[in-house]
Structure 1
Amino acid sequence: MSADTTPEQGSTAPSRTRPPSGIRRHRWLLGPATLLLLVVLVRTFLVTPFGIPSGSMQDTLLVGDRILVSRLTAPADLQRGDIVVFDASQGFNLRVPERGLFQTLVEAAQSIFGKGQPTDYIKRIIGLPGDHVKCCAPDGRLEVNGVAVDEPYIAPGAVPSAMTFDVTVPPDRFWMMGDNRGASADSRAHLGDPGGGMVPGEDIIGKVWVRYWPLGRLGYVDQGQLASVPAAPVPRNGE
């Protein structure tokens, strides 16, 4: 008798397993879900769209401008003059509203198109960790580490600050100010709060990269670094 066997008459070869009908019906969702996942990953780790909601950064950024914020710059690599988006809830002692699951999902979808959270602020870094920032020098300019600084991004004739202050920025914190100094709720407005209005580096979402809307203002956003400022003094032992 042959070792080979033959299928019995009338038998059929087994058919390939098909996915359940429920999965087949929803297979069309795979493409949009994959695209959404890619967008979320890009937004979380590479670049984030952001819309300008107020005039606190005029005339550098106008209400309605749409920008891309790079998330690739570490806090240690930021410079004075960089424009950044940050979560101000801790640094500015803001109350974070409670949100349910539905509201969280809606806000996540809106964020893809540049709508930030109510606690997302955009300002310019004036003081790095360890800097001594003062308003004002005898000539009316801001003073950083003993040097009066030029600020070409402020509108002609505008004063650097109507509020006087004299602060030393703690380690891993940043002193933030808007370009429209008369209409910016920035670090100055929170001097009396816990933390003194200084923004933790871990709360910085990213550095402003380009403006993509309106098309007539398309291009890189000038950061205006304060290159003439000396480095912050190194604390002595015990200080």
Structure 2
Amino acid sequence: MQSDAEDRDTERAPEAGENAAEREQGNGRSSWKEIPLLIVVAVLLAFVVKLFAVQAFYIPSGSMENTLHVGDRVLVNKIVYRTRAVRRGDVIVFRGPSSWTPEAKVAAPSNPFQRALRWLGGAAGVAPTETDFIKRVIGVGGDRVRCCDAQGRVTVNGTALDESSYLYEDPVTHVRNKPSEEAFDITVPSGRLWVMGDHRQNSADSRYHRTDGNGGTVPVKNVIGRAFFKVWPVGSAGPIGVPATFGRVASGRGAPPGGPAEPAAPDPVAADVPPLAGGPGRGGYFRAAV
């Protein structure tokens, strides 16, 4: 036989259970309300990282074959040149001078919705844009860059470059690009860069802008960052290195922009990395995926 106290405890038990269930439901509703805030915070953090540290870029043309492919996505370090000068052999993304015309055309969005989608795709590095370029640095301020020597090679400060590891090779004939079909001889002004695509026959680089008023060189201040890693496609993902040939080049008569003259010492991800796998490359010019 239960006491009166036990009867009262039994009557209160369901009420306690109901209150716990109500609290759980309330917590569930609160969690759903927090999701939009978490999404906004995540987007803001991604934007800050993209703006100041690392940004993804989409490759829409073939001027950097075989190193990069059309449709590849690369990560660009936007901080590295705050701590060191641009070096020969670096693959860089830069804002093209006003005289540089796009190497790939991208249709303009026809309505606000498409513009928003383009912006989101650019922010994630999955959609092309049109104003920025990707090329390899061949000469820095003070360097004399010439083509070609008796063996048809590009020379920097008298040292011939061995470009066999990255110049475009036809996948059918296996014939490699010549270092250049165009002869040139330039001393790179201080604070500027001489850049070339790895697919020399399909790259409107410094060689084709020599009459622009700056000898085809690009201002260091236009450099957005260094492309250091290919993230897509996954099967050929890997670091984008600096071939060892650039480490054998002596300094020019002037200091490289951004710091004292120095041989191209390897940086953490600038080992002598061979061209990335994945068949004939494409890639080169692209616009920043902002």
**TM-score when normalising by structure 1:** 0.78
Residues 68, 211 of structure 1: 8 Å contact kept: yes
Compared with structure 1, are the counterparts of its residues 153 and 90 closer, same or farther at alpha carbon in structure 2 (3 Å cutoff)?
same
Indicate whether 1:46 and 2:57 are aligned: no
Q: Which one of the candidate residues 221, 226, 230 is aligned to 2:250? A: 230
Partner secondary structure for residue 87 of structure 2 = coil
Structure 1 CA distance for aligned equivalents of residues 190 and 99 of structure 2:
13
Identical residues among aligned pairs (%): 39
1:82 corresponds in structure 2 to: 90
Structure 2 CA distance for aligned equivalents of residues 104 and 172 of structure 1:
36
Q: Which one of the candidate residues 57, 63, 70 is aligned to 1:63? A: 70
Structure 1 CA distance for aligned equivalents of residues 116 and 235 of structure 2:
33
Structure 2 CA distance for aligned equivalents of residues 234 and 53 of structure 1:
35
Compared with structure 1, are the counterparts of its residues 206 and 104 closer, same or farther at alpha carbon in structure 2 (3 Å cutoff)?
farther
Structure 1 CA distance for aligned equivalents of residues 137 and 248 of structure 2:
15
More helix by share: 2
1:185 corresponds in structure 2 to: 204
Runs in 1 of length 4+ with deviation above 4 angstroms? 26-29, 102-107
- Highest RCO, 1 vs 2 (Cα 8 Å, sep ≥ 6): 2
C-alpha displacement of 1:27: 7.5
| Counterpart residue type for residue 252 of structure 2 | A
Residues 60, 153 of structure 1: 8 Å contact kept: yes
Compared with structure 1, are the counterparts of its residues 227 and 111 closer, same or farther at alpha carbon in structure 2 (3 Å cutoff)?
same
Deviations 1:113-139 (A, max 9, x none): 213531111100001111110111121
Structure 2 CA distance for aligned equivalents of residues 81 and 230 of structure 1:
13
Compared with structure 1, are the counterparts of its residues 93 and 67 closer, same or farther at alpha carbon in structure 2 (3 Å cutoff)?
closer
Deviations 1:15-38 (A, max 9, x none): xxxxxxxxxxx9864333222211
2:237 corresponds in structure 1 to: 218
Structure 2 CA distance for aligned equivalents of residues 36 and 216 of structure 1:
28
Residues 59, 128 of structure 2: 8 Å contact kept: no
Deviations 1:72-112 (A, max 9, x none): 21175221111011111347377xxx99xx68766542321
Q: Which one of the candidate residues 159, 165, 168 is aligned to 2:178? A: 159
Indicate whether 1:109 and 2:120 are aligned: yes
Residues 67, 212 of structure 1: 8 Å contact kept: yes
Structure 2 CA distance for aligned equivalents of residues 178 and 49 of structure 1:
19
1:22 corresponds in structure 2 to: none
Indicate whether 1:128 and 2:140 are aligned: yes
1:92 corresponds in structure 2 to: 100
Structure 2 CA distance for aligned equivalents of residues 198 and 107 of structure 1:
31
Structure 2 stretches lacking a partner, 5+ long:
1-32, 103-107, 170-174, 256-290
| Counterpart residue type for residue 149 of structure 2 | A
Q: Which one of the candidate residues 228, 231, 235 is aligned to 1:209? A: 228
Deviations 1:159-179 (A, max 9, x none): 100011111111110001000
Over the aligned positions, Cα root-mean-square deviation in angstroms equals 2.7
